[in-house]
Chains A and B, each alone.
Chain A
Amino acid sequence: MQVIVAEDISKKYIIDHQKAMRKSSTFRDTFSEKFKHFFGKGAQDEIEKEEFWALRDVNFTVEQGDRVGIVGHNGAGKSTLLKILSKITEPSAGKVTIKGRVASLLEVGTGFHPELTGRENIYLNGAILGMKKHEIKAAFDSIIDFAGVEKFLDTPVKRYSSGMYVRLGFAISAHLSPEILIIDEVLAVGDADFQKKCLGKMRDVSESGRTILFVSHNLAAVQSLCNRAFYFEHGQLKMQGDTTHVVNNYLSHVAKTNLEHYWETPEQGPGNDQVRFRTLRIDPDFQEGKNYIDVRTSVKVHIEFWNMLERADLNLSLHLYAFTGECIFNVGTTSQSFEKGLVTATLEIPGNFLNDGSYVISIMVVKDTSTVLFQLPEALSFEVEDHREGVTWYGKWPGYVRPQLNFQINQSEVLV
């Protein structure tokens, strides 16, 4: 039986470029805009209203008992979809029909008040999630047991550790008994043990015939939990179907982001009258059967540029940045004397070194080891996907790098 039917749903936002920097508008802005508009000046260049479609003509159906994983980049429309399904925001067009009681968990511990005790917050949060008082009462012991906070039941939650806070929040929502459960990125928080509990709980829920919609960046968790997947891109449902199939497609698509640039002639290439780039390329050495970069994949960075100077001492310097802007490393070639013409360089980044995430490479051409001739800030970018074996933990692996170091463990003595 179909429990969710979405027909042509779209969600439009109007982005006001002029005010984009400010969080909210004030009367004065509105008035002054009206004023300017009235006198016909500045209206075009200052107030640039742009339509942004967070979702566009999305159609899908979900069967009862489906566990649907929703994947896609940030801003692809996943969260907007969940908000529409949870009735938090309404679609700009289209229609969704939902059969059954929906509970959405877009955040762990929604509405927790820091000044209230754990006990009070259980009732508060339960009511916010749509539980009746007698339902909360019935589940109360099981909630505190699941969260493991019985000692702190009468302590204000502002004194809780972040782990306790999250555990309590999840424990309450785990005791919801909806027919359809909508979950947004809850596994990103909490420790390994807790995450195992969460996944187990979610499996229990789905085995009892309930339907789950689950958004996560964590593809391993999606693959282990879901039987179907939706892949969203730029507000559109790009693909749906069997989880493994959709996830692989998503990953191979991700991997194509910005792996190669090539310019035929020096005039076209980026640079100046001293140096111009010809080729920038990332060559991954894919794992067998894969067509995307994961944490095991080694990659080669190829750089080719025209040197327009008559005999110069040049070297290259390469920075690798995490998507968030931190520099992971900076490597340089030795400085050598080059004639006018093409120069090539190759850097190998080994597998089992970078953590999963998005990376950006910037390249500098340096003369006489001191003068920067030209710098290309975002020359190449690529993504490294997660891969795990022999673990049951699906949280975000911490750290910028994930090297395989020689870490030995042995039993040194046996107690009898």
Chain B
Amino acid sequence: MKFSDEVVIEAGHGAKNYWKDLWKNRELLWILSKRDLSVRYKQTAIGAAWAVLRPFATTVVMVFVFSKIARLKGDEGIPYPLMVLAGITIWNLFANTFTQISHSILINSNLVTKTYFPRLIMPLSSVIVGFIDFLISLFLYAVIAIWYQHPPNWQIILLPVFVLLSLFAALSFGLIFAVMNVRFRDIGQLIPFLVQIGFYVCPIAYSGKLVEANHDVWWYDIYYLNPLVSIIDGFKWCLLGDGAFFKIEHLYSAMGIIALTLGISIYYFRKEENSFVDYI
């Protein structure tokens, strides 16, 4: 008999071929994502229509509250509802992916306690699920942009950059929360709360220009420490065109922060993943 591999299991040493193992398990990654997607709308009457209905309903409410009641104005030459929808689209990508990553280990606890595979598969499958939801929302945006006859400019080709950045941001924060969630169930309580705060702190229902107008206030620098701010601004700029507010300088610091957090969170996740089963 030919032996395909030799494994050494030792205290304190993670699997030696971790990244290779991860690649070998790509089919599992895909199938777990497929499971999450196909399970979600089982026994619902309207099924996958929920994926479109939810962002649409949020947008309608936002547009009504902010433009009719609070009388906020969008950027010059850009339909306000379209700006809100663009903001919600990218924010939902981040928020949904982040939330799902944070819960990914706990939700799959039956797998964690009974079988081995690189644990990163679980958060990564949440990324795929989040991305597919995003594609549906983007389609909704496209339909409404056609309705408003507001085609994108050349910047649209940069859209993947911001989508990718947003996924990296979700992964970098989500991994840390996923690990902590295994030991402290408080995290589960905290997440919806954080997402809600984020929704108002980020320039979704309003334009970044309103913040820029305040650039001499003390909280201005702190505001831009949030990497999501410039990702959202950039995403809106890609979809809405030159009229949308976006300052590329802010993006560099955001990328730095995301890269740093991502490094730390992957390190932390790898360090803790072998003990998940002992605490879950």
Interface residues of A (CB under 8 A from B): 3, 13, 24-28, 30, 64, 83-102, 104, 106-107, 110-111, 113, 115-116, 120, 123-124, 127-130, 132-133, 156, 179, 209
Per-position 1/0 for B109-136, Cβ under 8 A of A: 0111111110000000000000000000
Cβ-closest chain A residue relative to B5: A101
Q: Are B8 and A96 in contact (CB under 8 A)?
A: yes
Q: Does B183 contact A (CB under 8 A)?
A: yes
Q: Is the CB of B31 within 8 A of A123?
A: yes
Minimal Cβ-Cβ distance residue in B for A156: B42
Q: Are B114 and A88 in contact (CB under 8 A)?
A: yes
Question: Count the A-B residue pairs with Cβ separation under 8 angstroms: how many?
Answer: 123
In the complex with contacts A100-B4, A123-B31, A27-B115 CB distance below 8 A: no
Within 23-58 of B, Cβ neighbours of A (below 8 Å) are at 25, 27-28, 31-32, 35, 38-39, 42-43
- What's the least CB distance linking B103 to chain A, in Å? 14
Take A26-B185, A116-B38 as given contacts and tell me if A98 and B6 are in contact as well, using a CB distance cutoff of 8 Å. Answer: yes
Residues from 238 to 280 in B contacting A, C-beta threshold 8 Å: 274-275, 277-279
How many interface residues does chain B have, given as a range? 35 or more
Residue of A nearest to B106 (CB): A24
| B1 touching A209, Cβ below 8 Å | yes
A28-B186, A87-B9 are known contacts; what are 10 more A-B pairs with Cβ within 8 Å? Answer: A87-B15, A95-B9, A95-B10, A99-B6, A100-B1, A101-B4, A115-B42, A128-B115, A132-B27, A156-B42
Least CB distance from A332 to B in Å reads: 47
Q: Which residues of B contact A104 (CB under 8 A)?
A: 115-116
| A100 and B3 form a contact (CB under 8 A) | yes
- For the complex of A and B, 10 pairs with smallest distance between CB atoms: A87-B116, A96-B9, A90-B274, A115-B42, A127-B28, A127-B31, A110-B114, A100-B3, A95-B10, A98-B7
Selected from A91, A101, A133, the residue in CB contact (under 8 A) with B10 is A91
- By a CB distance below 8 angstroms, the chain A residues around B275 are 89-90
Q: Which of B32, B108, B114 has the most CB of A within 10 A?
A: B114
Q: In angstroms, how far is the closest chain B Cβ from the Cβ of A333?
A: 50
Q: Is B148 part of the binding interface, using a Cβ–Cβ cutoff of 8 Å?
A: no
Asked whether any CB of chain A lies closer than 8 Å to the CB of B217, the reply is no
Q: Are A124 and B31 in contact (CB under 8 A)?
A: yes
Q: Is B222 an interface residue (CB 8 A)?
A: no
B115 contact from A86, A97, A101, A115, Cβ within 8 A: A86
- In angstroms, Cα B274 to Cα A24, docked, is 18
Q: Does B139 contact A (CB under 8 A)?
A: no
B61 at the binding interface (Cβ < 8 Å): no
**In the assembled complex, which residues on chain A have CB atoms less than 8 Å from the CB atom of B39?**
113, 115-116
Q: Let me know if A83 and B277 touch, CB within 8 A.
A: yes
Pick the contact of A99: B3, B25, B183, B277 (CB < 8 A): B3
Say yes or no: B27 contacts A106, CB within 8 Å.
no
- Quick check: A88 and B11 within 8 Å, CB to CB? no
Given contacts A89-B277, A123-B31, A128-B115, contact A97 B6 (CB under 8 A): yes
Which residue in chain B gives the minimum CB-CB distance to A131?
A: B27
Complex CA gap A92/B10 in Å reads 8
Closest Cβ–Cβ distance, residue A361 to chain B (whole Å): 36
Contact of B278 among A28, A89, A120 (CB under 8 A): A89
